[in-house]
Amino acid sequence: MALTRWERIEKKIMFQFAWPWLFVILPLPWLIHHFFPPAPDQASTALKVPFFQNIVSLTHSTKRLPKKRHWKIQRLAWLIWILLVVASARPQLLGEPIKIPISGRDLLLAVDLSDSMAETDLDLQGAAESRLNIVKRVVGEFIERREGDRIGLILFGEHAYLQTPLTFDHRTVKIMLEEAVIGLAGKSTAIGDAIGLSLKRLRNRPQKNRVLILITDGSNNAGEVEPIKAAEWAAFYQVRIYTIGIGSDYHQGEIETLSGTQYIKTSFDVEGEKTLQKVAEMTGGYYFRAKNRTKLENIYQQLDKLEPIQVEFKVFHPITALYVWFLGAAFIFSLFFPKLKRWTPENQCN
């Protein structure tokens, strides 16, 4: 059903008072005038001026204002009073509603940046591509889908660093991931430190919504914390960890020998894979193996099902304060008071 012109205007422009209860003071001047009459004039004998009548004849200060002008002053005073009361009630213009997520999961992504992530054993559109570049593409799409979740990014190698804290600003998280480069956090792999850093960020968040997705291609060979010990603490803080091992079963590696660089075929680290499986099992998560880009995409689709998006939104209206316009109008009208109060016998007949 099409909206009428006025319905469209009402939808776009909404007006309200923040403190409408202040309108109860609107009749206050009338109540004061009727229930508290002015005090009677008292003759003063402190000083007698013999030429008082001459002063009166010059200034005409004792003349009363004409009735017509008296009513004009009263109406102007009431108008100024009404404008001041309206300004005190804080008139506001509400803009188009904006949805702000107020619930969802606290989801941290831990991405391995060790040297082995530069291996080109995965394909992208028929061409060999590094593991890290594949992760950037697939994880970037995953981030875009997680509307309502707070997402953070941890980059780890020899050390673990919090690149982006938990935030609803998914665009920034994606940009920070795209700008990550091999070796930024060192050449080795500190899986335990990455888990430990994530616990610091997740342990004070609401329970049942703490999730860590850890992506690596090797075993733990650096850091101060063992992955299994870190997993025990993760289970204690009820943080679910999903581990993803990325890399083909066999890939060509390089080793430096006395005779020069030799190329050898190496297999995926079986011992590291067992550790990742154990970490996921201890924390109530799952371990996945991504041998190519398609497998990795399927894994993140499964994660969407395992951790479905559950989000509530709070509607927020941008507010434009209008009280200054009513105060300004009251000030302008108050400038007419001197002119209305000024009275001389020449304008008495007007």
**Structural domain includes residue 231:** yes
Sequence-distant (6+) residues with CB within 8 A of 290 are 244, 245, 246, 247, 296, 299
| Ranges 179-188, 261-270, 334-343, most confident | 179-188
Judgement on whether residues 325 and 181 belong to the same structural domain of the protein: no
316: confidence class by pLDDT, cuts 50, 70, 90: low
Closest CA to 198 of 109, 329, 136: 109
Per-residue pLDDT tens for 256-307? 555 555 544 444 565 678 889 999 999 999 998 887 777 778 888 888 777 7
Q: Do both 274 and 342 map to the same domain?
A: no
Q: Do 139 and 216 lie in a common domain?
A: yes
Q: What confidence tier does 230 reach under pLDDT thresholds 50, 70, 90? A: very high
Q: Which of 43-57, 82-96, 109-123 has the lowest mean pLDDT?
A: 43-57
Task: Kindly report the backbone phi and psi dihedral angles of residue 246, in degrees, each rounded to the nearest multiple of 5, phi listed first.
Answer: -110, 135
Residues 70 and 213 in one domain: no
278 domain residue, yes or no: yes
Of the given ranges (9-23, 120-134, 258-272), which has the lowest mean pLDDT? 258-272
Q: Using CB atoms within 10 Å of the CB of residue 19, give its burial: 0 to 12 exposed, 13 to 18 middle, 19+ buried.
A: exposed
Flag the least confident range among 70-74, 147-151, 278-282, 312-316: 312-316
- What is the percent of the chain where pLDDT is above 90? 14
Residues 87, 133, single domain; the answer is no
The backbone region for 93, taken as left when phi is positive above 0, alpha when psi lies in -120 to 50, beta otherwise, is beta
Statement to judge: residues 258 and 300 lie in one domain: yes
Judged against a pLDDT cut of 70, whether residue 227 lies above it is answered with yes
Residues 309 and 345 in one domain: no
Instruction: Answer yes or no: do 204 and 71 share one domain.
Output: no
Q: Please state the rounded mean pLDDT for residues 24-43.
A: 75
What is residue 279's predicted lDDT score, i.e. its pLDDT?
Answer: 92
According to the model, what pLDDT value does residue 232 have?
93
Q: What are the DSSP calls for 46-61, one per residue?
A: S---TTHHHHHHHH-T
Same-domain status, 242 and 155: yes
Residue 304 placed within a domain:
yes
**Per-residue burial over 171-206, b = 16 or more CB atoms within 10 Å of its CB, e = otherwise:** eebbeebeebebeebbebbbbbbbbbbbbebbeebe
Verify that 143 and 276 share a domain, yes or no.
yes
Q: In this structure, is residue 198 part of a structural domain?
A: yes
Q: Which pLDDT does position 349 carry in this prediction?
A: 44
Of 52-56, 96-100, 302-306, 313-317, least confident by mean pLDDT is 52-56
How high is the mean pLDDT of the chain? 76
pLDDT for the residue 300: 80
Confidence of residue 346 (pLDDT cuts 50, 70, 90): very low
pLDDT, greater one: 1 or 206? 206
Specify if 281 maps to a domain.
yes
- What average pLDDT does the segment 304-317 reach? 68
Q: Same domain for 180 and 231? A: yes
Domain containing 272: what range?
100-313
In a domain, 259, yes or no: yes
In a domain, 199, yes or no: yes
Mean of the pLDDT values across residues 45-57?
54
The answer, yes or no, to whether residue 31 has pLDDT greater than 50, is yes
Counted domains in the chain: 2
pLDDT score, position 345: 44
List the CATH number of the domain containing 187: 3.40.50.410
Region 319-344: mean pLDDT is: 78
Mean pLDDT of 218-241: 88
Average pLDDT estimate for 102-117 = 81
- Helical (H) or strand (E) element with 168: none
Lowest mean pLDDT, pick from 46-50, 54-58, 288-292: 54-58
In this structure, the answer to whether residues 211 and 345 fall within a common structural domain is no
At residue 344, the pLDDT reads 43
Query: Does residue 24 form part of some domain?
Result: no
